[in-house]
A = this chain, B = another copy of it.
Amino acid sequence: MNSFVYDIPTRVYFGENQFGHLGEELSKYGKRVLMAYGGGSIKKIGLYDTLMAEMNKFGLEVYELSGIEPNPRIDSVRAGAKICKEKNIDVILAVGGGSVLDASKWMAAGAYVDHDPWDFFSKWAPVEKALPLITVLTLSATGSEMDAGGVISNLETKDKIGRMDPLLQPKVSFLDPTITYSVSKYQTACGAADILSHIIEVYFNMNQDLYMLDCVMEGLMKTVIKYTPIALEKPDDYEARANLMWASSWAINGFVDGGKDQAWSCHPMEHELSAFYDITHGLGLAILTPRWMEYCLDDTTVSKYVQFGVNVFGIDPTLPSMDIAKRSIQLLSDFLFNQLGLDDTFTKVGIKEEDFPVMARKACMNETIPGFRPLNQHDIENIFRMCL
A contacts, CB < 8 Å to B? 1-9, 11-18, 208, 210-216, 218-220, 222-223, 226-227, 238-239, 242-243, 246-247, 250, 258-259
Of the candidates B9, B12, B216, B223, the one whose C-beta lies within 8 Å of that of A5 is: B12
Contacts of A1 in B (CB 8 A): 15, 238-239, 242
Residues of B within 8 A of A239 (CB): 1, 208, 211
Contact across chains for B212 and A223 when beta carbons are under 8 A apart? yes
Does A212 contact B208, Cβ atoms closer than 8 Å?
no
Interface pair A220/B226, CB less than 8 Å apart:
no
Residues of B within 8 A of A5 (CB): 11-14, 18
The answer on a CB contact under 8 Å between A220 and B227 is no
Residues of B with C-beta under 8 A to A227: 211
Shortest C-beta distance, A335 to chain B (Å), equals: 17
Task: Tell which of B211, B215, B238, B243 touches A212, judged by Cβ atoms closer than 8 Å.
Answer: B243
Identical copies of this chain, number:
2
Find the B residue at minimum CB distance from A13: B5
Whether A212 touches B247, Cβ cut-off 8 Å, given contacts A1-B242, A219-B218, is: yes
List residues of chain B with CB within 8 A of the CB of A15. Answer: 1-4, 259
11 new A-B contacts, CB < 8 A, other than A7-B11, A214-B219, are A5-B12, A8-B8, A9-B9, A211-B227, A211-B243, A212-B223, A212-B246, A212-B247, A215-B216, A215-B218, A215-B223
Question: Chain B residues near A3 (CB, 8 Å)?
Answer: 13-18
Q: Which 8 A-B pairs have the closest CB atoms?
A: A3-B15, A215-B219, A212-B223, A6-B12, A7-B11, A9-B9, A212-B247, A216-B219
For the complex, give the distance between the alpha carbons of A3 and B245 in Å. Answer: 13
Query: Closest Cβ of chain B: how far from A137's Cβ, in Å?
Result: 13
Interfacial chain B residues near A16, Cβ < 8 Å: 3
Complex CA distance for A247 and B258, rounded to whole angstroms: 12
The closest CB in chain B to the CB of A176 belongs to B3
How far apart are A12's CB and chain B's nearest CB, in angstroms?
4
Q: Which of A5, A219, A246 counts the most chain B CB atoms within 10 A?
A: A219
Q: B residues within 8 A CB of A17?
A: 3
Q: Is the CB of B243 within 8 A of A210?
A: yes
Within the complex, what minimum Cβ distance (angstroms) separates A229 from chain B?
14
> Which chain B residues lie closer than 8 Å to A258 at the CB level?
14, 246
Q: Which residues of B contact A9 (CB under 8 A)?
A: 9, 11
Q: How far is the CA of A327 from the CA of B242 in the complex (A)?
A: 32
CA distance A112 to B119 in the complex (A): 48
Q: How far is the CA of A208 from the CA of B240 in the complex (A)?
A: 12
**Distance of A212 Cα from B215 Cα, bound (Å):** 11
Most chain-B CB neighbours within 10 Å: which of A3, A4, A218, A239? A3
Contacts of A215 in B (CB 8 A): 216, 218-220, 222-223
Inter-chain contacts of A220 with B (CB < 8 A) = 212, 215-216
Closest to A222 in B: B215
Q: List, sorted by A's number, 5 A–B pairs whose CB atoms are closer than 8 Å.
A: A1-B238, A7-B11, A9-B9, A211-B226, A211-B239
Min CB distance A28 to B, Å, is 14
Chain B residue at minimal CB-CB distance from A7: B11
Chain B: which residue is nearest A214 at the CB level? Answer: B219
Tell which of A2, A15, A250 has the most Cβ of chain B within 10 Å.
A15
A7 to B171, CA, bound (A): 10
- Neighbouring B residues of A222 by C-beta, 8 Å: 215
**Which of A2, A9, A212 is packed against the most chain B CB atoms within 10 Å?**
A212
* A14 lies within 8 A of B223 (CB): no
